[in-house]
């Protein structure tokens, strides 16, 4: 008996995927396009679709608060990216030594990434509060001259955000590097040890250079996290003292929803999008080119 013929419907998978694709296209790319038009419109308190050119972008360049936000983005982004990658790589190398209770340690290191940035910001706000946290604890231990008031110091508050961000993201970076380390053939390490190379030299000269693709992918991820940081700042400092810890994301929120400057907020969001695209697009291009 011949097997029953199957009904071929090559259009069915496309039909099933079509609603999700259409909704994603409208609510992602459609809203991106709408935001882009608002940034060149005459919108103020409410959307106004009259074309106004690049006036909002010009006002961004003249806005002291936006300039502070961009400087803070450079400080926070540099410290966050460098700190997360350095600490994550160090933790991955330590765990790669087949230490006891590796599973427990790996879970502990990864735990911060499992909680939201809101929780992280709130916890570190308590820890760094001069009247409640670290400074108060050390002074209660008898070191009355100890001070750690970075959270309320306009010149140093941005570093508190970097500390909290590194604490949360280092475990995730560790997992990426550890996966890369576990993919390296052990025979390479054994051959280098036979030649008399020390373990630090093996990592520095052989293993770490082979992790270049992991470095690049990790850099893309943490750079993206740094640029769009909003909830961590709002929970930890709310952009203060004053606007000393403003980032482009918090500046955008303040302009669009607190100051009634929708056009300026849309222009700031477009600048953030362009920054993310400048990082992600070359990465995607290189990946597609490598596959070809």
Average pLDDT of the chain to the nearest whole number = 87
Tokens 């082979």 appear where? Answer: 210
Distance (Å, rounded) from C-alpha 91 to C-alpha 265?
39
| Contact (CB, 8 A) for 100 and 94 | no
Q: Which of the two residues, 174 and 202, has the higher pLDDT score?
A: 174
Q: d(Cα 234, Cα 118) in Å, to the nearest integer?
A: 8
Does pLDDT of 6 surpass 70?
no
Q: Mean pLDDT throughout 138-165?
A: 91
- Over residues 13-22, the mean pLDDT reads 85
Tokens of 13: 């998978």
Residues 283 and 223: their CA atoms lie apart, in Å, by 12
pLDDT tens digits, 248-263: 999 998 888 888 889 9
Identify whether the C-beta of residue 146 lies closer than 8 Å to the C-beta of residue 138.
Answer: yes
pLDDT of residue 1: 46
Task: Please give the domain boundaries of the chain with CATH numbers for all domains.
Answer: 66-291 (1.10.3720.10)
Cα separation, 149 vs 126, whole angstroms: 12
Chain centre to alpha carbon of residue 239: 17
The pLDDT score that the predictor gives to residue 74 is 93
> Tell me: the pLDDT tens digits for 34-47?
999 999 998 888 88
Indicate if the pLDDT at residue 205 is higher than 80.
Answer: yes
Tens digits of residue pLDDT in 20-74 = 889 888 888 898 899 999 999 988 888 888 888 898 899 888 899 999 999 999 9
- Rg of the chain over Cα atoms, rounded to whole angstroms, equals 25
- For residue 51, what is the enclosing H or E element? none
């Amino acid at each position: 008996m011949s097997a029953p013929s199957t009904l071929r419907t090559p259009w069915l998978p496309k039909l099933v995927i079509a609603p999700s694709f259409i909704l994603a296209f409208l609510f992602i790319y459609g809203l991106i396009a709408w935001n882009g038009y608002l940034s060149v419109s005459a919108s103020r308190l409410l959307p106004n679709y009259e074309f106004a050119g690049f006036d909002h972008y010009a006002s961004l360049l003249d806005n002291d608060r936006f300039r502070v936000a961009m400087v803070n983005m450079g400080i926070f982004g540099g410290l966050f990216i460098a700190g997360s990658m350095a600490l994550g790589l160090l933790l991955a190398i330590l765990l790669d030594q087949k230490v006891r209770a590796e599973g427990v340690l790996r879970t502990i290191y990864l735990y911060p990434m499992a909680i939201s940035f809101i929780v992280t910001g709130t916890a570190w706000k308590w820890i760094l509060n001069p009247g409640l946290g670290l400074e108060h604890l050390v002074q209660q231990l008898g070191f009355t001259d100890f001070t750690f008031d970075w959270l309320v110091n306009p010149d140093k508050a941005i570093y508190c955000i970097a500390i909290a961000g590194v604490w949360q993201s280092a475990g995730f970076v560790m997992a990426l590097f550890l996966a890369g380390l576990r993919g390296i053939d052990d025979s390479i390490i054994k051959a280098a040890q036979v030649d008399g190379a020390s373990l630090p030299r093996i990592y520095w000269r052989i293993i770490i250079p082979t992790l270049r693709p992991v470095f690049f992918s990790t850099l893309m991820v943490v750079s993206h996290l740094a640029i769009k940081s909003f909830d961590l700042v709002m929970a930890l400092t709310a952009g203060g003292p004053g606007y000393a810890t403003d980032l482009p994301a918090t500046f955008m929120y303040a302009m669009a929803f607190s100051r009634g400057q929708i056009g300026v907020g849309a222009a700031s969001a477009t600048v953030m999008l362009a920054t993310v695209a400048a990082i992600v697009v070359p990465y995607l291009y290189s990946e597609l080119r490598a596959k070809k």
